[in-house]
């Protein structure tokens, strides 16, 4: 498609801050989102596998992973809003066109996601404690996992269709006949989708290292169960590393011609090094996995690796659209809005930081405590501060709105 047409599809109002801010935030928030997605996928598979085992450790792990999967879905949904917003701001000609071409699937995305989430809760309702009861209704979790993969596929297609504007007209008017139904899923890459899905093996392995170290802080926990988790996490990490490299290599050799530059770029090497470092890091730590905070380090290193992969993914999109179609996301019209920019970062750093610190601290201390947990006075004050900041944010939001409206 002609670059002038793509530029004409841009929002004439411009962007409220420099586009590079949206690029960076898009990478960071996408990495958080995909980490939650992969934890959910890995935890769901471990739950399903453990639910059919007689080994009490497997059944205990299945119970824990089911709880993890439920929370991971919530995190993935909430955090996943952010990268979509950043993409639609600076890539709006591509994102909105892709959505219109597959409009029915965009709407179905929400319905399928809700159905998948409900199926997971149905399994949880029938199996609140897999460690102490026979498994019932496993098909609920099978359906949930399948539906979650379907919504992932839909999002993959929408993102991939962005990169193929030269095919938009053929999809919209095949053989010269306009089809405005939006019922098709047109552009996709099975190998690309497989790479990001299979990364969940290494991610859930890193999560198991952190889960194991967390349990070690509870003085009443089963040492034999904790010891059993270690070789399992190592095996999954090794398998995850092999799958990531193999599926990534397969994706690279199947890149279309206009994206072939990516296969030999520094971004690929950086991603490969980051993923291999994450895979071998637990082996390098050895016995230190049981000491201090080292048990959480594999997940932290894995998070950094996902950020590197996210940056490479963004580079593929940016350079492809610039080189093949002449679209430069960084020359978007700048209409600086200090209020919205400052509000975003203050909300993220201050309100979000305080609230998240409170919630994580409560979750951490409650899990490490035996019996009824009572927060300390300092933590109670932090909770009150969280509520106060949230109320203050809401008040200023409406105050500014009424002020602008009155003018």
pLDDT in tens, 261-297: 999 999 999 999 999 999 999 999 988 888 878 999 9
Q: Quote the pLDDT of residue 275.
A: 94
The pLDDT value given to residue 404: 86
pLDDT above 70 (res 220): no
Confidence of residue 257 (pLDDT cuts 50, 70, 90): very high
Q: Given this model, what pLDDT does residue 1 score?
A: 66
Contacts of 159 (CB under 8 A, 6+ apart): 98
- Say how far apart CA 222 and CA 127 lie, in whole Å: 22
Contacts of 294 (CB under 8 A, 6+ apart): 213, 285, 288
Helices of type H across 91-189: 92-101, 103-126, 138-161, 168-172
Nearest-5° Cα angle at 40, 219 to 76: 110
User: Is residue 305 over pLDDT 80?
Assistant: yes
Non-local CB neighbours of 31 within 8 Å, separated by 6+ positions: 303, 306, 307, 309, 310
User: Percent of the chain scored above 90 by pLDDT?
Assistant: 75
What does residue 334 show for φ and ψ, rounded to 5 degrees?
A: -100, 120
| Residue 32 banded pLDDT, cuts 50, 70, 90 | very high
338-351 pLDDT, tens digit per residue, is 888 888 888 888 88
The DSSP symbol for 333 reads P
Phi, psi of 12 (to 5 degrees): -65, -15
Q: Has residue 197 got a pLDDT over 90? A: yes
With 80 as the cut, is the pLDDT of residue 371 above it?
Answer: no
Q: Check pLDDT > 70 for residue 377.
A: yes
For residue 69, pLDDT over 80 is answered with yes
Alpha helices in 217-296 (DSSP H): 223-253, 266-285
Name 334's bridge partners.
Answer: 15
- pLDDT number for residue 349: 86
Q: Which residues is 15 bridged to in the sheet?
A: 334
pLDDT at 191 over 70: yes
**For residue 221, pLDDT beyond 70:** no
In the three-class reduction of DSSP (H, G, I as helix; E, B as strand; rest coil), residue 332 is classed as: coil
Nearest-10 crossing angle of helices 266-285, 297-325: 170
Inform me whether the pLDDT recorded for 246 exceeds 80. yes
- Which residues, in sequence order, are CB contacts of 378 under 8 Å at separation 6+? none
pLDDT digits (tens, 9 = 90+) for 80-120: 999 999 999 999 999 999 999 999 999 999 999 999 999 99
**pLDDT band per the 50, 70, 90 thresholds, residue 216:** confident
Between CA 39 and CA 89 the distance in angstroms is: 28
Provide the whole-model pTM: 0.92
Stretch 373-401: mean pLDDT = 92
Residue 374: pLDDT band (50, 70, 90) is: confident
SS3 17: coil
Q: Between these two residues, 335 and 217, which has the higher pLDDT value?
A: 335
**Contact (CB, 8 A) for 302 and 202:** yes
Residue 57 confidence class, pLDDT cut points 50, 70, 90: very high
Most confident of 121-135, 140-154, 321-335: 140-154
Q: Using CA atoms of 25, 79, 157, 269 in order, give the dihedral in degrees to the nearest 10.
A: 50
The pLDDT score that the predictor gives to residue 271 is 95
pLDDT at 173 over 90: yes
């Amino acid at each position: 498609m002609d670059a002038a047409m793509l530029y004409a599809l841009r929002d004439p109002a411009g962007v409220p801050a420099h586009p590079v801010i949206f690029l960076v935030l898009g990478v960071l928030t996408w990495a958080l989102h995909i980490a939650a997605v992969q934890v959910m996928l890995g935890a769901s598979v471990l739950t399903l596998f453990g639910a059919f085992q007689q080994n009490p450790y497997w059944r205990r792990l299945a119970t824990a992973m089911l709880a993890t999967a439920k929370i991971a879905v919530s995190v993935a949904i909430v955090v996943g809003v952010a990268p979509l917003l950043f993409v639609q701001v600076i890539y709006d000609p591509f994102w909105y066109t892709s959505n219109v071409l597959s409009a029915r699937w965009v709407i179905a995305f929400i319905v399928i996601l809700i159905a998948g989430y409900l199926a997971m809760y149905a399994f949880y309702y029938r199996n609140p404690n897999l460690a102490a009861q026979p498994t019932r209704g496993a098909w609920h979790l099978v359906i949930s996992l399948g539906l979650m993969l379907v919504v992932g596929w839909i999002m993959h297609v929408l993102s991939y269709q962005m990169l193929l504007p030269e095919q938009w007209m053929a999809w919209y008017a095949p053989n010269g006949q306009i089809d405005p139904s939006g019922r098709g899923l047109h552009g996709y890459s099975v190998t690309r989708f497989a790479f990001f899905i299979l990364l969940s093996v290494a991610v859930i392995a890193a999560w198991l290292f952190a889960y194991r170290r967390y349990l070690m802080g509870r003085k009443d926990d089963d040492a034999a169960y904790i010891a059993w988790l270690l070789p399992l996490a190592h095996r999954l990490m090794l398998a995850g590393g092999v799958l990531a490299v193999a599926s990534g290599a397969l994706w690279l050799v199947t890149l279309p011609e206009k994206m072939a530059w990516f296969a030999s770029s520094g971004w690929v090497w950086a991603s490969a090094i980051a993923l291999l470092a994450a895979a071998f890091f637990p082996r390098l730590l050895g016995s230190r996995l049981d000491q201090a905070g080292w048990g959480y380090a594999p997940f932290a290193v894995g998070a950094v690796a996902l950020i590197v992969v996210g940056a490479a993914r963004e580079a593929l999109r940016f350079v492809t659209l610039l080189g093949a179609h002449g679209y430069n996301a960084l020359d978007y019209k700048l209409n600086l809005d200090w209020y919205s920019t400052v509000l975003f970062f203050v909300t993220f750093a201050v309100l979000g930081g305080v609230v998240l610190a409170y919630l994580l601290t409560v979750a951490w201390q409650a899990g490490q405590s035996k019996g009824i947990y009572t927060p300390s006075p300092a933590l109670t004050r932090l909770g009150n501060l969280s509520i106060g900041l949230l109320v203050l944010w809401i008040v200023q939001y409406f105050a500014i709105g009424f002020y602008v409206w009155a003018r």
